[in-house]
Amino acid sequence: MMDKFFTTLRAYCEQLRIPLISRETQAFLDELLEKKRPQRVLEIWAAVGFSSIFIAQKIASRWGVIASFEIWYPSYLQALRNIEKAQMSNITLYPFDINEIQLEDFFSQKFDFVFIDAQKSQYGDYMKKIQTHLSKKNTLLLDDVIKYQHKLDWLYSFLSENQLNYKIYDTEPGDGVMLIENE
């Protein structure tokens, strides 16, 4: 049932040119979620909810939950509809810019997995914002770091200043993801 849901939603997004994770990034994320088995996930920018729903269904069997943020209100509403269609109850979707709120007002527990696929020039800001909200063992996955490398100067400065190790994986022609693991 979920395969048909994802196929239909992907086709809809591709037809309307709505950005979402590539099939290759989805496959990488799938393997990573199986390996890491996170319980509390933070997603920065949900768009229409494709990746939120994908992550939620992967972690649902172990009572995992995902908190997802979407800044653009029409996308937020569409993501809510898609989450309802998918019948996912372990997603909480927020219509805010994560950089404009105090995370401690929303979350008392820390996240063990973060997926960022948002405004590329703000990746460093997002990283700075979430540092105190990460569990001791955590995994961060940042999408589109090869294609938009020219927008990531602040991210690389943040990583260097905080001595955070990372790996970049070519997941598709001309693009890939950044993986940061703190074990």
Task: Please provide the DSSP assignment of 20-80 as one string.
Answer: ---HHHHHHHHHHHHHH--SEEEEE--TTSHHHHHHHHHHGGGT-EEEEE--SHHHHHHHH
Domain contains 1: no
- Would the pLDDT of 1 be above 80? no
CA angle 122, 176, 131 (to 5 degrees): 40
Domain contains 98: yes
Report the number of distinct structural domains present in the chain: 1
Domain contains 10: no
Domain contains 11: no
The span from the CA of 94 to the CA of 69, in Å, is 5
Q: Tell me, what CATH number does 171's domain have?
A: 3.40.50.150
If you average pLDDT over residues 24-33, what whole number do you get?
A: 97
Other beta carbons less than 10 A from residue 92's beta carbon: 14
Instruction: List pLDDT tens digits, range 40-58.
Output: 999 999 999 999 999 999 9
Residue span of the structural domain in which 87 resides: 21-182
